[in-house]
Structure 1
């Protein structure tokens, strides 16, 4: 089963954001990945609805908006209007997670939930059937360029098992420290979406890295 590559624009040079958008549009990438940070849920601030709207207007591919923010339910409709194709919220930021998932669906976009490295897969047992995407954070969220947490691989397998048992349509997305050195391992564990930031935009030839990530031939164990 094929997989998707989602370059994270957080790692791009925002002085030349138009070039980064064009790169993703013309490359073998499948999605744009946009990290929205509020400086409270994570210790960094990135951008909000206005920048998402500017990117979405030029994006020719799926716009994957990852809300690393407190109380994300307040902002679902505005990010959907800004052009998100899918919105992911953090389980840790949502005491009423099922209600927020319903909000995302009612806004007419795909629904995702992200899990921080310390958060167990079991937190999703009661909502997994409602999800289109589950994001496994393979670094602690908030900053790009961190090292991949290899203990995340058994967690991806566990999540793949949960998805199979409950017959969920959810795709497993991995976010954090992903590059050519570990992409095959996470795909073999059951991941279907690779978020790559520094590995792409820090490369001499970003389009080539995207092509190589897309070309990895890995047979996800959970889907055999």
Structure 2
């Protein structure tokens, strides 16, 4: 069963608070982006400023070049999942082990050009692999459905791993993504940029869990 996870991508504390307030009435699992202004051009809110309602299940997407410089702060927040990028230059296996040792799930994100076989050792270790189809640090990207082919390759390496998708999810493609074995659809502007985010969240949830008709 797939799930919709609204995304919070903000540059200021005021914007962050507004996002939390808008999502609090209905969101269950939420995807929060942080960045260092180096791995991605955007300089988003950092881990030291994050907070969320205790009932939320939170995944933190760390778009940072050196996760080791952020890991202690992220672990202290006790999220459900911490996702770092496959393209970093640090020891990815060591990061996974450190995250899991704290009782937190570990995930890895793959940019469009990253081939799963090049990090098979890491995919075997993580709980979650996120296919990144958007633009780093920006909402409103396009879902490149050709990236769905990566899921077969990822599952061949780790059949039990949870699959996430980030980038361009909307009402038109959500069902296709869910049918393509995406477990967590991280949704940015399709929810954040509308007048009634709860309504769109509910529509998306129904869409990804509908039964196909032959």
Q: TM-score, normalised by structure 1?
A: 0.85
Matched, 1:127 2:118: no
Distance in 2, matches of 1:146 and 1:73, equals 28
Secondary structure, counterpart of 2:30 in structure 1? strand
**Paired position in structure 2 for 1:155:** 150
How far 1:73 sits from its partner (Å)? Answer: 1.9
**Is the contact between residue 139 and residue 177 of structure 1 (CA under 8 Å) also seen in structure 2?**
yes
1:188 matched residue in structure 2: 179
Could you tell me which residue of structure 1 aligns to residue 34 of structure 2? Answer: 36
Whether 2:195 is the aligned partner of 1:198: answer no
**2:212 is aligned with 1:217:** no
Alpha carbons 2:28, 2:55 under 8 Å: kept: no
TM-fit CA distance, 1:98: 0.8
On the 8 A contact 1:80/1:108 being kept in 2, the answer is: no
Look up the match of 2:59.
64
Measure, in 2, the Cα distance between the counterparts of 1:40 and 1:16. 21
SS at 2:20's partner residue?
helix
Report the alpha carbon displacement of residue 96 of structure 1 after superposing the two structures with TM: 1.6
Q: Secondary structure at the match of 2:24?
A: helix
- Residue 82 of structure 2 is aligned to residue 87 of structure 1: yes
Q: Say if 2:163 and 2:183, in contact at 8 Å, map to a contact too.
A: yes
Once the 2 structures are TM-superposed, how far is the Cα of residue 5 of structure 1 from its aligned partner?
1.3
Cα distance, 1:116 vs structure 2? 0.5
Residue 189 of structure 1 deviates from its aligned partner by 1.0
Could you list the per-position Cα deviations for residues 46-83 of structure 1 after superposition, in whole angstroms to 9, with x for gaps in the alignment?
Answer: 0112222xx23x34211111100011022212111134
Q: CA RMSD in A?
A: 2.3
CA distance in 1, matches of 2:182, 2:72: 28
Secondary structure of 2:143's counterpart equals coil
In structure 1, how many angstroms separate the alpha carbons of the residues matched to 2:205 and 2:164? 14
Matches within 5 A, 1:44-123: 44-52=42-50, 55-56=51-52, 58-123=53-118
Structure 1, unmatched stretches of 5+, are 220-224
Matches of 1:160 and 1:93, distance apart in 2? 22
1:69-128 CA deviation, whole Å, 9 max, x = no partner?
Answer: 011022212111134221111010144211111111123211000001100111332232
Aligned residues of 1:76 and 1:107 also touching (Cα < 8 A)? no
Q: Return the alpha-carbon distance in structure 2 between the equivalents of residues 217 and 112 of structure 1.
A: 24
Structure 2 unaligned blocks of 5 or more: none
**Count of paired positions:** 211
Deviations 1:13-33 (A, max 9, x none): 964644532443321x33111
Bigger mean CA offset, 112-121 vs 10-19? 10-19
Q: Post-superposition shift, 1:159? A: 2.4
Q: What is aligned with 2:8?
A: 9
More helix by share: 1
